[in-house]
A and B are shown apart, each in its own frame.
Chain A
């Protein structure tokens, strides 16, 4: 089979089993778009801004576990995509980005729509390539998919100059099935000696905590994790990125940990004697002040990326390997062990945890005449019965969702954790809805975040994506306002959004349904109505208490034991 560069790109995507490409055409990718036009196996989703192409591919990848694909043109197409690439990079999401580039003879001449895409993207990709010769194209794309999806996943960018896609130059096409790189060999198995050591430590624990992160979801290790907890009966907490890997409605789940984590999770971290970190990277929002982090604990860390280990926190028993296989090995060893965990110690430990739980750190004013954002999320859970893919933007609504919507399955909670990208939620929801056309998909957002990618309402219309937008509208950039209230004597510098659109009319102008609610009593009915419209996008503008803050909170630079519960309820 003889193909042009543009045809090779499309055929390679077909051979990779790619369903959707999220993209936006432009000069440097016109040949590729022409090749896309002539086939119907790979479907192209036309976004309205390249940031949404990468977020869309990202949402698709997070929901399915498969590689997301974006296609953008050179120059501004590539720079617009960067935010989405960095978002995927921080959360280790598998993605391949194909970017057009000016023709090779003019690279470096400041040609029209030229930018050094490989240079600009370098710090926020797992790897990138510039393809200078059409003969290298198929192999490079194969490498890109392999690197993006193996080991610790991440985005890989392939920059392709226009002349490399020339329709008049045809070459024989061969797409390698297997690929091996001498310089890239991700761990496939944990070290047996280290695993044995970890199990010994774990079985001797008196006050154990399992702390899981996004790696459990990325590594499809949910099942093994559940087996481990069932075997041991240990308490488990999760980062923002790991929510749903273990059922959040299970009594052994302590809630999220960290800056806005629960009192019981953070106190358990502070008092634990054996901490097992699984696919988590000791992010500063999780650890608080490093000097105060888990002061009494022997720390076991399982991660596929060796550079995650002992990066922020010194680890006692490191295990480099895929979390799924390592957890499965641990489960096997625990089953074979002569003695299980110490039941008396565990009982004491749970008794202590229940005392902390009794503080009810997530309590809020249920009698408020205003809609409390927490109440809105609880209502969302009630109405959807937990059967929901929920994407999120960034800010207070994101934290409220993480605290008040218990996910029982992985890949249901989709948010930008590492980079904290406002504007992520709506385009990510498009990716999720495309992956699962029959599923209920909602995007929780704020009136500030949603405006950052609001143009995607047009994409949703074009492809009939019935996403439900749950907007917690408090008129402020809530999280910014909260920090200004706490740390800047309530000087709300530019966090008040003075000129908001009428979201109902705005949504209607895009051809969707808009609804507005401002009374607590109307909320459930409105949500039921919205979710009953199965084939329509509904934008539910919920006017919430503008002064509500996210609690509990550990201020940046404080330890887990130094939480604030709320202004009215301080801990001794």
Chain B
């Protein structure tokens, strides 16, 4: 099953490579990984998407917790949570395709953020599934490039993953 794991890490040089090294050394899957400092500059928050059996996910969480740089960890998938990913997608936008692309952008509540005579850059936020769906919906042959941030997530409700 797919799990979204949020980790609060000490914002120190090498913390990211410890996580990446752990996954490669133990042969765990990483689907995506994003990391940036939080409101507290000494802490980074990492969101990690991984797949595996319950036993493997259990081990992944224990091994992550064992890292000396890990302050706190939460498996978002265990509770109600929100998930968002950002995509920037560059598409060929010749005259005959422009209307269709604009319609798609509207349907998905995306935004066109760059326009040239022959191309658009479209910004879209949503769950990974929604982003997949948008990519699917773009008429064939029009995609020039796709940049995805990888999902980030947060638990619903008042409780937070904080110190």
Contact = CB atoms under 8 A, between A and B. Distances in A.
A99 to B, nearest CB: 15
Contacts of B58: 310
Contacts of B9: 183
A118 interface: yes
B62 A130 contact: no
A184 B68 contact: yes
A182 B43 CA distance: 11
A123 B25 contact: yes
Interface string B4-34: 0000011001100110010001000000000
A182 B62 contact: no
Nearest to A126: B68
A184 B70 CA distance: 8
B13 A130 contact: yes
B66 interface: yes
A147 B58 CA distance: 24
Contacts of B77: none
A181 interface: yes
A307 interface: yes
A153 to B, nearest CB: 13
Interface in B50-106: 55, 58-59, 62-63, 65-66, 68-71
A170 interface: no
B137 interface: no
A377 B3 CA distance: 53
Interface residues of A, number: 20
Interface residues of B, number: 20
A310 B69 contact: no
Given A306-B65, A307-B59, A307-B62, A118 B70 contact: no
Given A119-B17, A130-B13, A310-B58, A183 B163 contact: no
A305 B25 CA distance: 19
Interface string A115-138: 000110011001110100000000
Contacts of A183: 9-10, 68-71
A181 B55 contact: no
B25 to A, nearest CB: 5
A147 B25 contact: no
B71 A307 contact: no
Contacts of A306: 62, 65-66
A130 B14 contact: yes
A223 interface: no
Contacts of A118: 14
Interface in A365-405: none
A127 B18 CA distance: 9
B126 to A, nearest CB: 33
Nearest to B12: A129
Interface string B121-157: 0000000000000000000000000000000000000
Interface in A103-161: 118-119, 122-123, 126-128, 130, 147
Given A306-B62, A306-B65, A307-B66, A182 B71 contact: yes
A122 B68 contact: no
Contact of A307 (B13, B14, B21, B63): B63
B35 to A, nearest CB: 15
Nearest to B63: A307
B23 to A, nearest CB: 12
Interface of A: 118-119, 122-123, 126-128, 130, 147, 181-184, 305-307, 309-311, 314
17 contacts: A118-B14, A122-B18, A123-B25, A126-B68, A128-B14, A147-B68, A181-B68, A183-B69, A183-B71, A306-B66, A307-B59, A307-B62, A307-B63, A307-B65, A307-B66, A309-B62, A310-B58
Q: What are the 4 tightest A-B residue pairs by CB atom distance, in nearest-first order?
A: A307-B62, A127-B68, A183-B71, A184-B68
